[in-house]
Structure 1
Amino acid sequence: MTRFRLGLVVGKFSPLHLGHELVIAHALACCEQVLVLGYSEPVLAGCDRARRERWLQRRFPQVLNIQLDDEDVQRRCQARGLPFQPMPGNAAADAQQQAYLAWLLTAPLDLRPDAMFASEAYLQPCAAVLSQALGHAVAPVSVDPARSARPISATRIRADVHAHREWLHPQVYRDFVQRVVLLGGESTGKTMLAQALAERHETRWVPEYGRERWLACGGELALQDLLDIGRIQVEREDEAAGHANRLLFCDTSPLTTLGYAGWMFGAQPSALQALAGRRYALTVLCEPDIAFEQDGTRQPAGFRLQQQAWYEARLAEQSGPWLRASGSVAQRLQQVDAALASLA
C-alpha cells in the first residue's frame, strides 16, 4: 500500500457519519499523518464547530483535527499578518470551493498534504487544483465512490437524524439526544417515573448510580465516593445516550450528589460543582405527594422536605426549563409529555 506523508480529508462533517469515518480510516492506513479539515458556511443545525471538533476528537484522536469557522480563520490570518478571506457559501461553485481550500492550506494553515481522500466526484479536479497551488503532486485517492459500503449522506441524515441514527457512531449520536433529568427528595417516585417514560418513548433510562455505590460500600460513603458517583453517573449517562432513541431519561444527576456532599460532609468540591452544572433539555422535579417508603437506605421522612427545598432553590437559579410533576404516575407522564411537546 502506498504510504503518504500527509493525507487530507476535507468536508462539512455535519454530522460526522460512518461514510466519513470509512474515508478517514482508509487515509490513516495510507498516511503517516492525516489532516481532517472541516468547515461550513452557514453552520448547519446541530453541527457547530465545537461539536464537529469534539466528534472527531472522540472518534479519531490521532488525526490533525482542524474544524474552522470564519472567526477562527480570521484569528489565524491575524496571527500570520495575512489578509482574511471569508468562507464561500455551501452552495458556491466547485471552482470557488477549491480555490478557497488551496488558499487555506497555503496561507493561514501552511499545511501541504501529498494525498487527498474522498468519495465524491470533486476529488480529481480538487487534487489537481491543490497540486498546482502547493507546487507538488497531490494524489487523489478515491474511497467507496459508489457508496456501496456506506450508502448514506449527511443531507439524508440531517433530514431526520434519529431515523438514520444507525449511520452515526454512538459517540456522535449522543449529542443529538435530548436528556431529561428527574430530581426530587427521597421516595418521590423518580425511578418509577423514569422507567415509565422510557417505556412510553421506547428509549433508555439511566438508573441512579449513587444507590448502587451505597449498597456496595455497605452504607458507608466517604467524600471521595461522592466524587466518583458524580463522575460515573455522567459516564453512564453519556454511554446510554449513544444508544437511546431521541430522548434519554436520567434518574438524578450530579446535582443530587452535590446535595449529598453538603448534607453528609458540609462540602461542595469544585469538581462536583462542575459536574452539577450540566444542563438538560428538561428538568422534572418530582413532588413529595406520594407516601414515603422507607426501604432501609433512606433518611427519615422529614429529610425529603429539606431536599425538596434545596432542589427548588437550585432550579430557581438556573435558566433551563423545568416543571413540577405531581399526582399518579399516569398524571406525571402527561405532565412531562406536555412539557416535551413544547420543546419540539
Structure 2
Amino acid sequence: MYKQAMVIGKFYPPHAGHAHLIATAAAQSGKVAVLVLGSRFESITVDERVTWLAAEFDGVDGVEIMGMRNDCPEDYHSDEIWKAQNELMRLALKSRGVTSVDIVFSSEEYGVRLAAAFGADHVLVDPSRNAYPISGTMCREDLGAAWPYIIAPARQELATRIIVVGAESTGTTTLTTALTEHYRPRFPGIADVPEYGRQFTYEKFRSLRSEAPDAGIRDMVWTADDFGVIGARQNEMENAAADACPLVIADTDSLATTLWERYYLGEGSFGSYHAADVLPRRDLYLITDHEGVAFEDDGWREGEHRRADMTEWFKETLTEEGHSWILVTGDHDRRLKTAIETIDLIIAQRNGFTSPPWATRTALEGAAA
C-alpha cells in the first residue's frame, strides 16, 4: 500500500474512466488526493466537478476530492509551463495539508514526468481505455452517446430538464407527448415522465370503490400524505429519466404537486412541500394556457371553473421561485413550435462544452482524431 497517492485531471465532465482511475488508486493507497483542475474558459465550474466526484466517492475511505482553478496554458514541451502547472498543483495540495506524494496514478504518458516532479512513483492505469472506452473529449463532442459513461451525480445535473405544467384539460400531456416524440430520434433514450398524480388517483379510487361500490370521484378524501407520496414519486420518475438520457421532458413535477395540494386541501397543507424543496435544477417550465382549449371532461376532472385561477397560480409560483417559464398559447402547432425553438437553444447551450485553445484532445484507438 502506498501512503499518499495523487490523481489529477480536468474531469470535464467526470466519467466512468475517471472513476476507474480513482478507484484503482484507492485500492492501492491509504489516501488519495484527487485534484480537479478547471479553467475559467470551460463551461462547467470546478466546484460542480468537485461536488459530483465527491458524491460518487462518498463513503470511500481515504479519497479526498479537491479543486483548483487553473487558467495556465498547457504545453507539454515547455519546461516553464510544466513548472507553472506543478506549482499550482503543489499549492493546491499544500492548502489541504498534503505536503508529499509517493505515488501518482494516471492514464496518460505525461504521468511519468508529473510523478518525477513530485518525487513519486507512477502507475499507468488503462492508457488504451480498454476497461472503459470513453474520454472527456468524447463526452464533450457527443454527450448523448457518452451519457451511460458519465458518473451518476453528474448525469443528474447535466441533464436538460423541461417541465410542462398547466391547469386541467389545457393540453399538458398532449404537448409533453409531442415534444418527447419530436426529440426521440435525436435522443433515443428519452423516457416518458407522466403525471404520477393521475395514476395515484386511479389507484386511490379503485381502493375507495372496493370499500364503497357506489362511490363517485367527488367522494374521494385527499390527505397531505397523499400529496407527499405523489411529489416524492414524481421526483423519482424525473430523476430516473435524467439518469437514462441527457434530455428530460416531464408532464408536471413536484412543484406543481404543491399547487394541486393547495387546490384540494387549502393553504395550510404541506404534504408535498418536502419533495418540492429538493427539486433538481430546472431549465424551463412550459405553462399550457387554458384560453383557446376546450375543457374535456373525461370523468376524472372537476376544475373547469378554476382553470384561470390555476394558470395564474402557476405563473405566480414560478415567478416567485425564480424559474424560467413560457406561457405556450395558440393552437397545438403554435405551442409546439414555441417550445421547440426555445428547447433547441437550451440544448445547444447546455451540451456545448467550451475549452481554451490549448486544450488537448484524447482520441481512442479506432476513433476519429
Moved more, 206-215 or 168-177: 168-177
In the aligned structure 2, how far is the partner of 1:103 from the partner of 1:322?
Answer: 44
Moved more, 195-204 or 295-304: 295-304
Identify the match of residue 44 of structure 1 among 36, 42, 45.
42
* Cα 1:165/1:319, change in 2 over 3 Å: same
The TM-score with structure 2 as length reference comes to: 0.76
Offset of residue 33 of structure 1: 3.7
Give percent identity, aligned residues only.
28
In the aligned structure 2, how far is the partner of 1:115 from the partner of 1:158?
Answer: 29
Identify the match of residue 91 of structure 1 among 58, 64, 74.
74
The question of 1:228 aligning with 2:229 is answered yes
Identify the match of residue 310 of structure 1 among 302, 308, 313.
313
* Cα 1:57/1:115, change in 2 over 3 Å: same
Mapping for residues 212-291 of structure 1, pairs under 5 Å = 212-218=199-205, 219-244=220-245, 246-265=246-265, 266-267=267-268, 269=270, 271=274, 274-275=277-278, 279-288=281-290, 289-291=292-294
Offset of residue 184 of structure 1: 0.6
Q: How many residues in Structure 1 have an aligned counterpart in Structure 2?
A: 316
In the aligned structure 2, how far is the partner of 1:23 from the partner of 1:342?
Answer: 35
The answer as to whether partners of 2:163 and 2:249 remain within 8 angstroms in 1 is yes
Offset of residue 65 of structure 1: 3.5
The answer as to whether partners of 2:35 and 2:68 remain within 8 angstroms in 1 is no
Cα RMSD for the two superposed structures: 2.6
Offset of residue 166 of structure 1: 4.1
Moved more, 56-65 or 233-242: 56-65
SS at match of 2:248: strand
The answer as to whether partners of 1:287 and 1:324 remain within 8 angstroms in 2 is yes
Offset of residue 220 of structure 1: 4.1
The answer as to whether partners of 2:68 and 2:92 remain within 8 angstroms in 1 is no
Moved more, 48-57 or 178-187: 48-57
The question of 1:139 aligning with 2:121 is answered yes
- The residue that corresponds to 2:195 in the other structure is 208
In the aligned structure 2, how far is the partner of 1:263 from the partner of 1:14?
Answer: 44
- The residue that corresponds to 1:187 in the other structure is 169
The answer as to whether partners of 1:17 and 1:154 remain within 8 angstroms in 2 is yes
In the aligned structure 2, how far is the partner of 1:15 from the partner of 1:316?
Answer: 31
After superposition, give the CA deviation of every residue in 1:134-190 in whole Å (9 maximum; x if it has no partner).
xxxx33111012333334331342234234334324542343322111111012121
The TM-score with structure 1 as length reference comes to: 0.81
Gaps of at least 5 residues in structure 1 are 71-86, 132-137
The answer as to whether partners of 2:53 and 2:65 remain within 8 angstroms in 1 is no
The answer as to whether partners of 1:183 and 1:252 remain within 8 angstroms in 2 is yes
The answer as to whether partners of 1:174 and 1:243 remain within 8 angstroms in 2 is no
